[in-house]
Every structure is written in C-alpha cells, then in structure tokens.
Amino acid sequence: MTNPSETQKAGGGLLAGMSPWALAGHALPWAIAIGFFFIAEGYLSFGTQIIIWILFALSLDLALGYAGIVTLGQAAFFGFGAYAAGWFSIHVSPDPILGHLFAIGLTAIVGLISGALILHTTGVTFLMLTLATVLIMFEYANQAKEITGGDDGLQGMKVGPIFGKYEFNLFGHTAYVYSLIVLFIWFVIMWRVVKSPFGRSLDGIRQNARRMRAIGTPVWWRLLAVYTLSAAMAGSAGALSAHATRFVGLSVLSLLTSGIVTVMLILGGTRRLYGAFVGAIVYFVVQDYTAKISPYFWEFIVGGMLIATVLFLEGGLMDLGGIARRQWERLTGKASKP
Amino acid sequence: MSSPVLSVRGLSKSFGALVVAQNIELDLMAGARVGLIGPNGAGKTTFVNLLTGFLRPDAGTIQLDGIAIEGMRPEDRVHRGLARTHQINTLLVEESARDNVAITIAEREKFAWRAIRYSPQWQQCLDEAQARLDEIGIGDVGDRQVRHLPYGKQRLLEIAIALALKPRVLLLDEPAAGVPSSETHVFHKVLDRLPAEIAILIIEHDMDVIFRFAKEIVVLVQGRVLTRGEPAQIAVDPQVRAVYLGRTVV
Amino acid sequence: MLSFAATVLLDGVSYGMVLFLISVGLTITMGLMRVVNLAHGSFAMIGGYIAGYFTQRGYNFYVALAVAAIIPGILGGLCEVTVYRPLYRKGELSQVLLTIGLVFVATAAVTEIFGAFPYPVKFPEYLTRPIDIGFRTYPGYRVFLIVVGAIIAAILWWVIDNSIYGARLRAAVDNARMARAVGMNVNLLFTGTFVVGCALAGLGGAIGAGILTPEPSYSLKYVVLFLIVVIVGGEGSFKGSFVAAMALGIIDTMGKYFIAPAAPYLLYVAVFLLLLWRPQGLLPPKSAT
C-alpha cells in the first residue's frame, strides 16, 4: 500500500515536496467543508454530525487501520467522552473548551487502563474483551442514573460560549465551525503520527508483530500508546457530540455505535486518512435518502455495502480512484510500474 | 579475552511429556561459526526460540556478555545484541525492501518512538538501509515491495535485516531453505562475508552449507546434545551417521 | 429455601440449555473454520421469527419448530458457500466486518417483514401451565427446554465422540491442513457442519423464544452472549461450551434474583476478568493449548 517514494521525503515540513496535484487533493475536502458553511446553512447541524463522525472514524482508523488492532470497542471511548463532557458542563463549568479538554484527558486515561489490561491478548479473545468493555460501560451508564440520567439520557447540559464570545446558536454555526477546527487539529496530529518512524513501526506491527519483536520493538508499549491516542480522539468526538446537541443518550455507548463507525471507515477505506471522510459522508447521505423510503431500508443497504466492500473492494471507496487509474493506464497502453 | 559472548548452561524445556530441550550447553566465542544439526524434530527451532525469548525455559541459564538474559523479553535481548533470522519468511510484505531494513534500523537506534514526523534521522535510516542492501547484493531492488521479490532475494533480505541490528550473536535459522540450487553460490558468498567478529550459530539441513561454513558442529537429537566437534570429526562419527547422516545421504 | 435454590438452579439450567443449543453451532464452526462469525445470532433470530409466524397462524408447534430449524439451515448453507468461503483465507478483520454486514441485512430484513416490535412465539397451551415435578410445580415450558436441550446435547455428544463424522470433525478442528492432506473433503465437511450449526441455532432461537424474544435487535443484543459461551468454553470445545452455557445461565439467573439491577453489568465484568485470566477459555481443545 505504501508508496516507497513517499518515504523518501524525510525531513522538511508537512507539505514540503508535495506535488501541486497532491496539494490540491488535500485542499479540496477542507474547501468543501468551508464552502458548505456558506451555501448550506439549513443543513449545518447535519454537517456538524458528519464532521463529528469523521473524527470518530479517524480515531478508529488509527487503531484498526494503521496499528491493526481489531476492536469493536470504540464506542466505549466515544460514549465516555460524551458523558464526561456532559457531566463537566453540569457540575463544573459550562465552558466548552475546558469540558472538551477534560473529556479528552479522562478518555485517554480510560484508554490507557483498558488497553493495558487487554492488549496482551489477540484475536477473538481481544475482540471479546473490547465488546465486554463497551457492554460494561453501557450497563454501568444505564444504572448510574444520578450521573448519566440512565435511559432518559443526560439532560440539562449548559454549554457556554466559546472563549466567552461565540454562542452555540440554534442554527449551529458555532458548533459547525468549532467541530471543523477540532477535526482539523486532530487530522494534522494523526497525519504526522502515521507518517513518522513511530507510524512506520505501527505498519510493521500490523503486518507481523512477531517479526517486530524479533527486531527489538516493544510491541505492547507501541500498541498501548496508539490505543490511548485513539481513545483520546474518540473521546474528543464524543465531547463534540455532547456539546453540539446538549444531550447525551445511552445509545452513544451501544454496540451499534461501534458497528456504525466501523462501517463508515471500511466503506471509505482504511489507512487513507480521507477514507474516514468519504465513508462518513456516504453513510449519512445513504442513510438520509433510504430512510425516506423505509425506516429500516438504510440498514439493509449499509449491510449490503459492507459485505460487497469486504468481498470485492478491500481498499474501500477511496480505492476506486486507484482502480480507475490502473484501468485507464491499461486502456491507453501506458506501461504501469512493475 | 576468552570469555564467551553467549553462554548456555543446562537449558531445558518440555511440553507436558514431550521433552524438547534437555540440559543443553553451548558457548559461542566472538567470531565463532558453529553449526547446529539434527534430524527433524530434534528441537533446533525450539532451541532458537529459547535463546531469543519466544519460549521460556523450564530450567537453565543463558548469558549474553556475562549478563543473564533468560528472563528477558525478546525485544530486550535484541537490544543487547542477539539477532536471528527466521526459517519461514516473516518479512513485512507490504513494505519495500529498503523500508524493511530502515524500520529495523529505526528500532536499533531507538528513533521509532519519534511520532511527530519523519525527522532527519529517518533519512539516515534509509541511507544506511540502502547501503546494507547494496552490501548484500540486492540494492537494485530496494524500491520493490517485498511481496514481489523473488524468493532468493527475500532470504537475503532476511539476513540484511538481522545484520542491520548490529548483533554480537547471530542465529541463522535455515537461511538458505527453499532457495533454488542455482542461487546457492550467492548464499555461500554472503555467508563467507559475514562480519568476522560476530558469533554465529547456523542451523541448516543443507550439509554442503554446514560443512563449508562451520568450524564446529553440534548435533542435537531429541532435545539433547548428542555430540560436538570439528566438521571432519562429525562427518565420520558413527553415532552421528546412525541417527542422522545415515538417513540423509550426504 | 431449598425450593428457592432449586428454582434458581432450574431457571438457570433451562436458560443455559437455550444458550447451549444456539451456541454449539458457533463453537464448532469457529473452532473448525477459524471464522469470527458475528452473524450466528441472526440464524437463531430467524428461527425465532419463523416459529412465531407459524404458531401465531395456528400451525402445529412441532411443524413450526421443524421449519424454524430447516430454513436457517438452508440459509446458513447458502451463506457458507457464497460469502463465508472467501473469508477463510482472509484476516479476522474481514470476517468481523462481513459478518456485521450480515447482521445489518438480517436485522433490516426481519424488520421489513415482521415489523419493529417483539414477535412472540405462541407456545402450545400445555407448555404454558405449571406441571408437577415431584417436590413442587414448575413451568412446563422450562421443563420442556431442559428435556429437549438435554436430549439434543446427548445426541450431539454421542455423534461427536463416536461417529465417523465426529472423528472427522475432531480431526479437522485439530488440524485442518492435515485433514485436507489425508484426502478428507474439507469443503463438504465445512458446509455440512455449517448447515447443522445454523439449523441448531434456528431451533434454539425458536424454542428459546420464551426467554430470548425475537425482535429486530436480537442478533446484535444476544450475539455477545453466544460468543461468551464459545470463548469462555474454548473455541471448538463442545464440552467446554456446554459447561460455559450452563454456568452463564445459572450465574445470570442468580444475578437477576439477588442483585437485580447490577446483574448484566456484573456478568460482563466477570467475563472480562475470566478472559484476562484464561485467554484460551475454560476447556480449550487440545490444539489450542
């Protein structure tokens, strides 16, 4: 998957040595996101939701895509972050940024502890442990009504203005811009992390953990580090969701939430950075359209897309471009690289 | 001067009733070239796994430069200078040959915790990786994805990776297994040119390789050291012929 | 007091029998084919819905049970040949994803066909009455579960331990490559086993509908229970999954009686700790040790 020449660009800034086409490719999604703000005012809360789920899917990409940690427990961190932010806004301070940082920090700690407990296992056992993590949190949240509101959800969140200035208004202007900025910050962090010696060691661990131990890699520590970072990102997405809707429902901690974010990532394509973007957008658009036909049709379509992706399009939708280019090169008779 | 780099005493391991290593003793001096032979199931690979830490011994000690390592994790043993090659390929098949080596060098130099971006150190890793590929004669395929490399070159890459760890002790687990006979001369050359100061233990089925390369041979049968000695001695040892050479005609 | 303990025990065992019937197919296929099959619960769900459909329309209960076993069996066979087979060569991630996809499809399909609400099975009148079991009366339905579960477990036990099919199955669980090398038709064995496993799941889903009511969220909600049985028992271990199913049934029931609100939460904590302690399960088959 990795283009060998890409790794040649050692040193220098993030964008150094990038071709104009690649630069344009990077600028496009962000330009669309900014343009959306001005032309689709009526859909800003829909847009905010997509941005939050992109961030959530990116967090999964880090663990599952890059490090090869096959987890179904990502909802635990998303939900934990959401509840942490909600609880903070009610009991400590309505300041959204403080609440957000609090949620990130606390979720990172949860990721660190749960990762330390379970990352020495592999395969189905690991998968079960991640499922159990989500279920424990779900059942706990269902019970601890005084903290979480149980089945009714966490109500009465107070969200103050950002920097004491920008109110979260009814149309969602602030929430949209705020979420987009948070997504951008995480995106840059993640980009740097995966394209670094550390990121390369994750590539190695994903492909063959035993080999990595044989060349001296402390595999468990690497995985723990990336799992914690991934948890923090998911917690951040959860906090955004809590602030944007001023509500946290029990469903943030459900297995379905884990399932949906996995679907988005796989549809879009793992290890592509923008795969999470494509996947989340396609998912929401499909859901929006098909739900009008019948309330459950979307689940059928999404399930079908997931099956088709696994069987026929392992690189996800992001791979379509590459496939098209190879076909084009074959048709035009251009010699492709060996 | 004459203290061994690697010293194994009384190493034993069994799985239930099956004894796979029994009271094995071995000393490797700097620059040693020792061959380990034995029929299938004699416990050769188990022995390598015990040395490298992928298996825990039931009893016995392993010392590397006088320090007990038998309780250490595999990755810590590597950082102390114990490297191995694998019998079956465990290369990172999605990466280029050069990146396989560069990732190894990054671990050796402990750059691999750097998670911010490719630093100038990464460029050093790549440069050294290319030099090491050149050295072993596969520099021309540095850019190729490993899964597209011919098998013989993959085996050479395996050795290049182990050498990139700058080991004091190197365990070669059937380095030439599966390599077509037309390419074995390349292997002989590579093995002859391995840095003289490294202590090497080589496990091979190919007797040509063993008798060419090793100065001393240890014969392992059912987890025990049957005998040891110079190649010429071993070749004529009636015991060895009975259990081993007799069956795989030299 | 003794009678109360007996009630808890019987409730637990009857629940455990349902879990066992549904999970036994999963443990064998996971042990045999090394596929992480998250869609197994969907076959049980379909069995439950089918039984509900026929019994609500007045068909004979046992005819409904037969159909509830046969259709999931056939569906399972079709799925094995079309979508599972390509999965054997792929990684765990692909297996997880594809089977989640199947769960989505199955959930949407039953919602479209049967509606979004719980869909109960109408059990025959004589099963809904309490019956005298010597020292006390006990719901007939629960007695039925225990008897049917015990009979099927005994049959399976005998088949796996004594028949040629069982010998092949055990050999293939221990070493699929070797089994192939000695000329066993592993593909046929896989498909056949998958069909039987799904049929048992369908049957379990149908007769267990009084405890695990068919509803659209069934497959996602309960698949974790089935996986717990499989993983705790040890993948591919028939006896292990029986023990695990009984233990899970009894512990869960005890939890509901004694510490009602915290029961599910404590159950998952227990499973979590157990898996940390014994990652291979309680009674792993030989090859896994």
Name the token pair of C228: 């717990």
- Nearest alpha carbon to residue B89 among B134, B167, B36, B150: B150
Instruction: For chain B, say whether A8 makes contact (Cβ under 8 Å).
Output: yes
Give the residue from chain B lying closest to A223, CA to CA: B113
Cβ atoms of C73 and C198 closer than 8 Å = yes
C neighbours by CB contacts (3+ pairs under 8 Å): A
With CB atoms and an 8 Å threshold, state whether B102 touches A218. Answer: no
C100 in contact with A, Cβ within 8 Å: yes
Q: Decide: B5 and B168 in contact? Cβ < 8 Å.
A: yes
DSSP structural state of residue B2 = -
**Contact with chain B for residue A91, Cβ under 8 A:** no
Q: What is the pLDDT of residue B19?
A: 86
Per the structure, the complete domain to which residue C206 belongs is given by 20-222
Instruction: Say yes or no to pLDDT of C127 above 50.
Output: yes
pLDDT of residue A13: 57
Q: Does A312 touch chain C (CB under 8 A)?
A: no
Distance CA A118, CA A265 (A): 23
Return the amino acid letter for A195. K
Successive 10-residue mean pLDDT values, chain B, 250 residues: 86 88 92 90 89 93 93 94 87 93 93 78 92 93 92 92 95 86 86 92 85 90 88 84 58
- Residue B84's φ and ψ, nearest 5 degrees, are -145, 160
Place of tokens 């996947």: A279
Q: Verify whether the Cβ–Cβ distance B107 to A338 is below 8 Å.
A: no
- Complex ipTM over 0.90: no
On whether residue C196 sits in a domain, the answer given is: yes
> What is the widest separation between alpha-carbon atoms in chain C?
58
Higher-pLDDT residue of A253 and C133 is A253
Contact B165, A216 (CB under 8 A): yes
Nearest to B246 by CA among B211, B210, B207, B213: B207
- Say if strands B18-28 and B6-15 run parallel, antiparallel, or are unpaired: antiparallel
For residue A252, give the DSSP letter: G
Cα–Cα distance measured from residue C275 to residue A226, given in angstroms and rounded to the nearest whole number = 23
Chain B: give the shortest CA distance to residue A256, in Å: 32
Measured in angstroms, the CA of A177 and the nearest CA of chain C are apart by: 33
Nearest CA-CA partner of C29 in C17, C39, C19, C14: C39
Coil, helix or strand for A172?
coil
CB atoms within 10 A of CB B47: 29
* Residues of C with Cβ-Cβ distance to A262 under 8 angstroms: 96-97, 100
Interface contact flag, A216 B143, Cβ < 8 Å: no
Chains in touch with B (3+ beta-carbon pairs under 8 Å) read A
Contact A118 C102 (CB under 8 A): no
Of C104, C111, C279, the CB nearest to A125: C279
In whole angstroms, how far apart are CA A275 and each of A21, A320, C119? 18, 11, 39
List CB contacts of B60: < 8 A, sequence separation 6 or more. B8, B9, B10, B11, B12, B23, B24, B70
Report CA dihedral (C79, C85, C89, C91) to the nearest 10 degrees: 10
Give the angle B88-B93-B95 at the CA atoms, nearest 5°: 140
What is the Cα–Cα distance from A145 to C29, expressed in whole angstroms?
40
d(CA A130, CA C201): 25
Which residues of B are less than 8 Å from A193 in CB distance?
115-116
Cβ-Cβ contacts under 8 Å, B114 against chain A? 196-198
Mark yes or no for CB contact B74/A214 under 8 Å: yes
Q: How many domains does chain C have?
A: 1
C139: three-class secondary structure by DSSP = strand
Backbone angles phi, psi at A159, to 5 degrees: -115, 115
Domains and CATH numbers, chain B: 1-81+167-250 (3.40.50.300), 90-165 (no CATH)
Q: Report the distance separating Cα C105 and Cα C87, nearest Å.
A: 18
Cross-chain Cβ contact C268/A135 below 8 Å = yes
Domain membership of residue C277 (yes or no) is: no
Contacts of C205 (CB under 8 A, 6+ apart): C22, C43, C44, C45, C46, C47, C48, C51, C68, C72, C212, C214, C218
In this structure, what is the dihedral angle of CA atoms B37, B39, B40, B42, given to the nearest 10 degrees? Answer: -70
Contact C264, C224 (CB under 8 A): no
Residues of chain A with pLDDT under 70: 1-17, 170, 333-338
Considering only CB atoms, A198 lies closest to which of B96, B98, B115, namely B115
State pLDDT tens for residues C36-60: 889 999 999 999 999 999 999 989 9
How far does C95 lie from chain A, in Å, by closest CA? 8
Residues B63 and B69 sit within 8 Å (Cβ to Cβ)? yes
Q: In chain A, what residues touch C96 (CB-CB under 8 Å)?
A: 70, 72, 127, 262
Q: Is A260 on the interface with C (CB under 8 A)?
A: no
Give how far C29 is from chain A: nearest CA, Å. Answer: 13
Instruction: Give the CA count within 13 Å in the CB-facing half-sphere of A89.
Output: 31
Q: Check CB contact under 8 Å for B78 and A215.
A: yes
Q: Hey, of A69, A71, A117, A128, which one would you mutate to test binding to chain C, going by the most C CBs within 10 A of its CB?
A: A128
The identity of residue B179, as a single letter, is V
What H or E segment, with its residue span, contains residue B13? strand B6-15
In one letter, which amino acid is C263?
A
* Token pair listed for C150: 């015990």
For residues B45 and B36, give the distance between their C-alpha atoms in angstroms, rounded to a whole number: 10
Q: What is the DSSP letter of B147?
A: G
Q: How far is A330 from chain B, CA to nearest CA, in Å?
A: 20
- The shortest C-alpha distance from C102 to chain A (Å) reads 6
User: From the CA of A296, how many Å to the nearest CA of chain B?
Assistant: 39
Pick C196 or C279 by higher pLDDT.
C196
Residues in contact with B181: Cβ distance below 8 Å, sequence separation at least 6, in sequence order: none
> Residues of C with CB below 8 A from A306's CB?
97-98, 100-101, 104
Write down the pLDDT at residue A284. Answer: 92
Q: Chain C residue closest to A145 (CA)?
A: C261
What does the pLDDT read at residue A16? 65
Q: Cβ A203–B145 below 8 Å, yes or no?
A: no
Question: Is the minimum CB–CB distance between A263 and chain C shorter than 8 Å?
Answer: yes
User: Across the interface, do A10 and B143 touch by the CB < 8 Å criterion?
Assistant: no
Spell out which residues of chain A touch residue C94, defining contact as CB-CB under 8 Å: 310, 314
**A124, A267, A283: best to mutate for the C interface, most C CBs within 10 A:** A124
| A301/A315 Cα distance (integer angstroms) | 19
Interface of A with B in 161-200 (CB under 8 A): 192-193, 195-200
- Establish if C84 belongs to a structural domain: yes
Interface touch C105/A127, C-beta < 8 Å = no
CA of A167: how far to CAs of A185, A246, A317, C142, in Å?
A: 21, 13, 37, 59
| Selected residue with higher pLDDT from B63 and C116 | B63
Closest approach of chain A CAs to the CA of C243, in angstroms? 18
Q: Has residue C169 been placed in a domain?
A: yes
State how far the Cα of C186 lies from the Cα of C166, in Å rounded to an integer: 13
Q: In what order do the strands lie in the sheet with B18-28?
A: B18-28, B6-15, B59-64, B67-68
Residue C231 and residue A131: Cβ atoms within 8 Å? no
A155-183 burial, b if ≥16 CB within 10 A, otherwise e? eebebbebeeeeebeeebbbbbbbbbebb
Query: How far apart, in whole angstroms, are the C-alpha atoms of residue B207 and residue B205?
Result: 6
**CA gap A330, A335 in Å, rounded:** 7
Amino acid letter, C118 = P
CA angle in degrees (0–180, nearest 5) for A236-A238-A240: 70
Closest CA in chain C for residue A137: C265
List of chain C residues whose C-beta atoms are within 8 Å of the C-beta of residue A70: 92-93, 96
Rounded mean pLDDT of C165-178? 77
CB of C258 within 8 Å of any CB in chain A?
A: no
Is A146 an 8 Å CB contact of chain C? no
Neighbours of A (≥3 Cβ pairs closer than 8 A)? B, C
| Segments making up each domain of chain A, as ranges | 26-254
CA-to-CA distance for C26 and A205, rounded, in angstroms? Answer: 30
Chain A nearest CA to B138, separation (Å) = 16
Cβ-based neighbours of C245, under 8 Å, separated by 6 or more: C16, C17, C19, C20, C23, C229, C233
A202, A219, B18, B119, B167 from B108: Cα distances, Å:
16, 14, 37, 16, 10
The amino acid sitting at B89 is N
Q: Residue B250 has what pLDDT?
A: 39
